[in-house]
Amino acid sequence: MEKRRSTVVIFKRGEAYFADAHGAFGGGYSGCSAGGTAEEAALFAIREAGRYIDTNPLGGDLFAPAEVREAMSAAKVA
């Protein structure tokens, strides 16, 4: 099976954040809880990017709401 780029998507549903992820060979998950706040979702996104995107030689894409991306930037600097 040919490898492909990985994808991690963080989205907000109601007051909580959830995630979908797809790996190099198509595995992953859908609708996993990513936290109740933007900060929790940011930490979840950083961890999952390391798990799915950074380990894939083809790389990948991370999609997240603006407030989660801002919290990710703050977490990486601190």
Q: Check whether 78 has a pLDDT greater than 70.
A: no
For every residue of the chain, DSSP letters joined together read -----EEEEEEEETTEEEEEEE-TTS-EEEEEEEESSHHHHHHHHHHHIIIIITT-TT-EEEE--HHHHHHHHHHHH-
Q: Residue 77: what pLDDT? A: 57
Six-digit token pair at 66? 């603006």
Digit-coded pLDDT (tens) for 27-38: 899 999 999 999
pLDDT score, position 51: 93
What global pTM score does this model have? Answer: 0.89
Could you tell me the pLDDT band of residue 1, with boundaries at 50, 70 and 90?
confident
Rounded Cα distance between 9 and 26, Å, is 14
For 54, list phi and psi in degrees, rounded to 5. -65, -25
pLDDT beyond 90 at 39: yes
